[in-house]
A = this chain, B = another copy of it.
Amino acid sequence: MSRKPRIKSGLGHSTADKIFVRGYDLTEELIGKVPLGDVAFLELKDRLPTPQESVMFNALVVTLVEHGLTPSTIAARLTYFGAPEALQAAVAAGLLGMGDRFGGSIEQAARTLQEAPSAGDLEKIAGQIVDSHRAAKRIIPGLGHPVHKPADPRTTRLFALAAENGFAGRHVELMGLIADRATEAYGLDLPVNATGAIAAVASEMEISWRICRGLAVMARAIGLVAHLQEEMEEPMAPEIWSRAEDEASAEMSSHRD
A interface with B by C-beta (< 8 Å): 1, 5-19, 21-22, 26-28, 30-32, 34-40, 43-44, 54-55, 58-59, 61-63, 65-75, 78-79, 81-93, 95-104, 145-147, 149-150, 152-154, 156-158, 160-161, 194, 208, 210-211, 213-219, 221-223, 225-230, 232, 236-241, 243-246, 248-249, 251-257
| Residues B91 and A81 in contact, CB atoms below 8 Å apart | no
Q: Point out the residues of chain B lying under 8 angstroms from A222, CB to CB.
A: 36, 39-40, 43, 218, 221
Q: Are the CB atoms of B225 and A44 closer together than 8 Å?
A: yes
- Pick the contact of A147: B16, B22, B65, B257 (CB < 8 A): B16
Determine the chain B residues whose CB is within 8 A of the CB of A82 once the complex forms: 71-72, 96-102
In the bound complex, residues from chain B placing their C-beta under 8 Å from that of A248 are 8, 13
Contact B36 A68 (CB under 8 A): no
Q: List 9 A-B contacts (CB under 8 A).
A: A8-B248, A9-B227, A26-B154, A68-B255, A69-B241, A87-B103, A88-B89, A210-B229, A217-B225
A149's partner among B146, B154, B254 (CB-CB below 8 A) is: B254
Residue of B nearest to A107 (CB): B87
Given known pairs A9-B230, A43-B226, the reply for A99 and B71 (CB within 8 Å) is no
Return A44 CB to nearest CB of chain B, in Å: 6
A68 touches B12 (CB 8 A): yes
Interface of A, helix, strand, loop or mixed by DSSP = helix
Among residues of B, the one whose C-beta sits closest to the C-beta of A256 is: B70
B221 touches A217 (CB 8 A): yes
- In this complex, what residue of B is CB-closest to A249? B13
The 5 A-B pairs of least Cβ separation, nearest first, read: A83-B99, A82-B97, A147-B254, A36-B37, A12-B68
Expressed in whole angstroms, the Cα–Cα distance for A212 and B240 within the complex equals: 26
For residue A234, give the distance in angstroms from its CB to the closest CB of chain B.
9
Given the known A-B contacts A88-B213, A214-B91, are A11 and B246 also in contact in the complex, defined by CB atoms under 8 Å?
Answer: no
> What residue in chain B is nearest A99 (Cβ atoms)?
B83
Cross-chain contact A44 with B226 (CB below 8 angstroms): yes
With CB as the reference atom, state the residue of chain B lying closest to A101. Answer: B82
What 11 new A-B contacts, CB under 8 Å, besides A87-B211, A87-B217, A88-B99?
A13-B248, A27-B153, A36-B37, A67-B256, A69-B241, A70-B241, A79-B93, A82-B98, A152-B255, A214-B228, A218-B222
Chain B residues near A14: list those with CB within 8 A. Answer: 68, 249, 251-252, 254-255
